[in-house]
Amino acid sequence: MAGLNVYLLGALSLGAVSSLWGSSLAIGTATAKGAFVVNKTKVSGSAQLFDGSSVETGAAASRLQLSNGSLIDLNANSSVTLSGTEAVLE
């Protein structure tokens, strides 16, 4: 029975660690009055942003509100990639 308890504890620990590896916290939100692209996927309204996210605007401007309090306003037909503490305009 003790062996089963150790095995079960190990499996639960591994599951908790692997879920931490697989999840990342959002670093902000992008919003627009219209469609825009986040990580090469077309979205409308709003989308969560993560480290490494790219945002491309089309006809509508977009606002990025980051969890550190920063605001980035993108004009129409603009793009930015978020990486760590940097925002790289393209």
pLDDT computed for residue 27 by the predictor: 95
Residues 61-87 have pLDDT tens digits of 999 999 999 999 999 999 999 998 889
Give the confidence band of 28 by pLDDT, cuts at 50, 70, 90: very high
In terms of C-beta distances under 8 Å and separation of at least 24 residues, what long-range contacts does 73-77 make, across chains too? none
β strands within 39-78, DSSP E: 41-49, 54-57, 62-66, 71-74
The answer, as to whether pTM is greater than 0.85, is no
Q: What is the mean pLDDT of residues 27-54?
A: 96
pLDDT computed for residue 11 by the predictor: 42
